[in-house]
Amino acid sequence: LPCGVLRLCIMEGRNLVQENMFRVLPDTYVVVNIGSQVVKTKTQRQNSNPVWGQMYDLLLYDERQTLTVSVFGEELTGSSNIGAALELQVADIILSGEEGKWVGLLPHKMTSQGQVLLKATVFDLCAHPEEIEGCIAGANQIAIN
């Protein structure tokens, strides 16, 4: 059973320069895998330092769970892998706090070492629905005061 919900924010990338014969900036997007769950950002056109700022809620089974980050570039012939990160523990991203964690990518078709900034928060799941209602009522009371 899941122990919580991981809110993963894929913030931005830097130095995502792709080798190609036309020397144009890449159309980049990120794919993150955690267990059987997969999320994909929108494609940022012609940008080697893209800002995605996208948030995803994923089921978390253990904070020691790992995720992989891959960056792809869209080309006329289809998508190609620009770079990928090693498996990264979710706890490492969570512990980085508000600053987030810059994840270095292993070059695949990059001319330099690219990175992706990730931020994460974990929300606990409640076993009893009345606990959720109590949290909502408490939040509403604070908002009123």
CA distance 94 to 6: 9
CA distance 71 to 83: 5
CA distance 2 to 8: 16
What's the pLDDT at 122? 92
Nearest to 70 by CA among 100, 101, 105, 43: 105
DSSP secondary structure, 71-92, as one string:
EEEEETTEEEEEEEPPPEEHHH
Nearest to 121 by CA among 99, 88, 141, 138: 99
Tens-digit pLDDT string for the chain (145 aa): 888 999 999 999 998 876 655 556 788 899 999 999 999 999 999 888 999 999 999 999 988 899 999 888 876 655 566 777 778 999 999 999 999 999 988 766 545 678 999 999 999 887 666 665 555 555 445 444 4
